[in-house]
Structure 1
């Protein structure tokens, strides 16, 4: 099967449907990912079905019709572009900012953006802590996403400062999400967040305990946060 056919099949199993253009874009993204991965460490997953399920569809499970649309979204620690690029392909009206600390990864993502013909998406070379203190980014986004970056108490300090009041922070988490939520209670209170939901999600053919955690930004984050680079991880707000 072609990558487009795999995406169509696995997407259907996950309750997702794609246009012909979207399938072309997912396929082009896959080709660029595996080709670039030969010379740059982007992902340990390269088999077509695994990339389709564990990267593309996993990213798309963060989509929420009530929240998404003509919104601004920042993807923190985007890495190889997940979940930001799949969400942009699936919801073209989103205005997406991909934030990462590694310039060579962003160079790859800029190539992807050009090759896929995506509009309304940009790359920003910043550490998450620096982005949260930068007036160009602080509290400027309706939605902020993060996937496999850090545990939730740390992630909240990276992401909530970027979210507008009344916006949402969406974390794509693994099997320990309930423990992480319990440990993040203090961080959310300090940073102006409130847990809205933690929904277990199942990827086609897998049962590995993934979840989408949604946090509402209910008040402005105090100016002291995020703390300087390195501190959130070394001394989490727990």
Structure 2
């Protein structure tokens, strides 16, 4: 089944999805809808709106000039799987880690990965502050993504420790983020990053002013970061 809104938006992004990939997105939607009855995964469950604000928004990463196929990627605070799982469906060669601290959501992610028969996906049930200190994850990823998790100053501390030098961290944002970005520049620099640009996402089917904040990892993150669980959110670097 071809999801019409997703199909139109993907083509606008230059992505051609196969019948099999549309079937995976369709199954993903129904899994999301059913599991959302058990516990809160998302406030958006309407068929058309999920295509717009979850599937299509996740794929908008392409607007940053990055084709993720083959890259090693971690989605920090994956929640219901956005943006990581739509990216994996669209670009099946990428190697994906879904990091999620809430146990129930991690179970949903594991069940969904299995149901969609996705290879090369790891679900990690842990806090970012803890996982980023594990050698197999610290500065090991070419691309780090995060969507609707925290303010950018907090996200920088949670995410840049996963990003290898020469890699990229992309935060999905919406609305007027000028002050948020300005307030995060010190944290980004402290953690070894440098703001490259902010990309506006202009797509016919996306309802809001969506943006991608693109940050390059230019040097190693100091071993003191990230700080212990909870501190990045309570006392952001300033």
TM-score using structure 2 length: 0.94
Instruction: Give the length in aligned residue pairs.
Output: 237
| TM-aligned CA distance change 1:10 to 1:48, over 3 Å | farther
Unaligned runs of 5+ in 1: none
The CA RMSD over aligned residues, in Å, is 1.5
Alpha-carbon distance in 2 for matches of 1:8, 1:205: 10
Unaligned runs of 5+ in 2: none
Deviation (angstroms), 1:67: 5.0
Q: Which residue of 2 aligns with 1:21?
A: 20
1:1-238 to 2 correspondence within 5 Å? Answer: 4-63=3-62, 66=66, 68-238=68-238
Alpha-carbon distance in 1 for matches of 2:92, 2:236: 35
Deviations 1:72-108 (A, max 9, x none): 0000000000000000011111000000101111111
Deviation (angstroms), 1:66: 4.0
Alpha-carbon distance in 1 for matches of 2:67, 2:47: 30
Does the CA contact (< 8 Å) of 2:5 and 2:205 recur in 1?
A: no
Alpha-carbon distance in 1 for matches of 2:131, 2:183: 24
3-state secondary structure, aligned to 1:184:
helix
| TM-aligned CA distance change 1:67 to 1:52, over 3 Å | closer
TM-score using structure 1 length: 0.94
Alpha-carbon distance in 2 for matches of 1:210, 1:80: 19
Deviation (angstroms), 1:202: 2.9
Alpha-carbon distance in 1 for matches of 2:161, 2:41: 27
